[in-house]
Amino acid sequence: MTRSNISYSIALSLALACSATAASAAQDAEFAKKAAEGGMAEVQLGQIAASNANDAGIKNFGQRMVTDHSSANDELKAAAQQDGVQLPQDVSKEHKAAADRLSKLQGDAFDKEYARMMVKDHQEDVALFKKEASSGKDANLKAFAQKTLPTLEDHLKMAQQLNASSKKTSSRQ
């Protein structure tokens, strides 16, 4: 190999390594953005459920979402801040629209829709956090995902139980 070929090979290797690092950083930043938006949405929806739900189980679950996701949001902010990752300050337009739709419902219709939304949201959250926990490159965000994942899996189980219960209740009426 000539000296110029070696230099070219080294430059190419460095470029590929930098590109892979940038892609990893972008994936971690995207995880942080989605986790922040989702966490803020869970708090907002939980507040609505805690005040608007008909079923005591739904109210309690809503309050737990406020408590658990507020805590997780604070931990995510700390992890992201250590790495200079900028987090959104508000929920996405999609989450705002979902909250608006939900806040207009009452009684059993509210309970059923909230339970359904929580199953869907937590399925997405668990998948997102599993991916970051297993393949994230940013140590702080990966540790956050690993720590938070069991709580999200617990939320999913609870939401599935509430969803099954709300379907039974509405089918009896």
CA distance 142 to 132: 6
Residue 160 structure tokens: 């599935």
Q: Looking at the domain that runs over 24-172, which CATH code has it been given?
A: 1.20.1260.10
* CA contacts within 13 A on the Cβ side of 73: 20
Task: Give the residues of the chain that fall short of pLDDT 70.
Answer: 1-24, 169-173
The answer to whether 124 touches 31, Cβ cutoff 8 Å, is: no
Of 159, 162, 152, the C-alpha closest to 73 is 152
Closest listed residue to residue 59, CA positions, set 70, 51, 68: 51
What global pTM score does this model have?
A: 0.82
Tokens 């070696």: give the residue.
6
Predicted pLDDT of residue 85: 86
Going from N- to C-terminal start, the domains of the chain cover 24-172
DSSP structure string for the chain: --HHHHHHHHHHHHHHHHHHHHHHHHHHHHHHHHHHHHHHHHHHHHHHHHHH-SSHHHHHHHHHHHHHHHHHHHHHHHHHHHTTPPPPSS--HHHHHHHHHHHT--HHHHHHHHHHHHHHHHHHHHHHHHHHHHH---HHHHHHHHHHHHHHHHHHHHHHHHHHHHHHHHHH-
pLDDT in tens, 122-151: 999 999 999 999 999 999 999 999 999 999
